[in-house]
Amino acid sequence: MLIQERIQKALDYFIQQSTEKISKPLDELTYTTDNKTIKKDFKKQLTILEDLLAYKQFCLSGLSEGFTTKKYLKLRAEAVLQEVEPTKKQKEYKDTTEHQELFEQLRELRMVLSHGENIPPFQVFTQHTLYELCEFFPVTEKQLLAINGMGKIRVKNYGEEILEVIKEYVTTHNLESREVSQKKAKLEKGSSQKESFELFKKGLNILEIATKRGFAQTTIEGHLSEFILSGEIAITELIPKKRYQTLSKIIEKTKFEGLSDLKNKIAKTYSYGELRMMMKDMEFRNKAR
């Protein structure tokens, strides 16, 4: 029993770490390059990484109810046969522009600035930023800050020179700035949670949803817990009623500050996902009073 508890603790840890340190950064990763060979190789390596991550998450999630060597080997064999969706399709940015003259001017400026500070050109601004500058023609600091990759530090350091080049170009060619669309390269807020919710309503359980979507089981638990708070999912649809009642009594008798503190104060047999769901349920019931 003690061994199983330690294994479960390790599983919780590695599932959480793979989600926080690998899955989320991969979700947010963007890239662009004008070198076709590098682009092809980069895509290949990302695909390999996503596949390996999905297989590992499938195995770890499948052991949430207990570890046996036989079960682990069976999961490894099944993982290879799964048609696991990648963590997220990498964003594709167009690598052409109708304003080649401006593109060359800005690229030349980037080269001059990088040489002047003895830094790589991408540290001035990235290739993706360069294409967006040629698409939206920002002429104010506020508009420049809306461009992907142009944070406050870059705008402070290089904004004046960048805006000067763009202003001259738009004036010469009688152009106007364009608003940066918020839908550009971004998912609708909450869409990932909604996709997990729709699969749950179709009858898939948490492990099946995690496997189908290529996410860790803890990620799906987090997605579905949001719908406990809205009242669209009853917590007993996710946690067996008897286990829920037992855990509810334990939490009522426990003084804690936040999820991590609660996790440290109760039996290791209860996962972060279950405790997160319980806290969402408590919040929902408090709102309903």
- Each residue's pLDDT tens digit, 118-155: 888 878 888 778 888 998 999 999 999 888 878 888 89
Please, what CATH class does the domain formed by 100-172 belong to?
A: mainly alpha
Contacts of 120 (CB under 8 A, 6+ apart): 114
Band (pLDDT 50/70/90 cuts) for residue 109 is very high
Q: Is the pLDDT of residue 79 over 80?
A: no
Q: Is the pLDDT of residue 217 over 80?
A: no
Higher-confidence position of 12 and 204: 204
Give the model's pLDDT for residue 10.
81
pLDDT-above-90 percentage for the chain? 15
List, for residues 151-206, the tens digit of each pLDDT value.
888 899 999 999 999 999 999 988 888 877 543 444 444 578 888 899 999 899 88
The pTM of the whole model exceeds 0.85:
no
Residue pair 24/87 in contact (Cβ under 8 Å)? The answer is: no
Residues of the chain with CATH 1.10.150.80: 100-172
Q: Is the pLDDT of residue 66 over 70?
A: yes
168: amino acid identity, one letter = E
Poorest-pLDDT segment among 1-5, 34-38, 44-48, 64-68: 34-38
Per DSSP, the residues of 256-284 read: -SHHHHHHHHS-TTS-HHHHHHHHHHHHH
Mean pLDDT of the residues in the chain: 79
Q: How far is CA 187 from the centre of its chain?
A: 10
Copy the structure tokens of residue 274.
């279950």
**Maximum mean pLDDT: which of 71-85, 86-100, 214-228:** 214-228
Poorest-pLDDT segment among 85-94, 165-174, 184-193, 211-220: 85-94
Calpha distance 1→55 (Å, rounded): 27
Contacts of 20 (CB under 8 A, 6+ apart): none
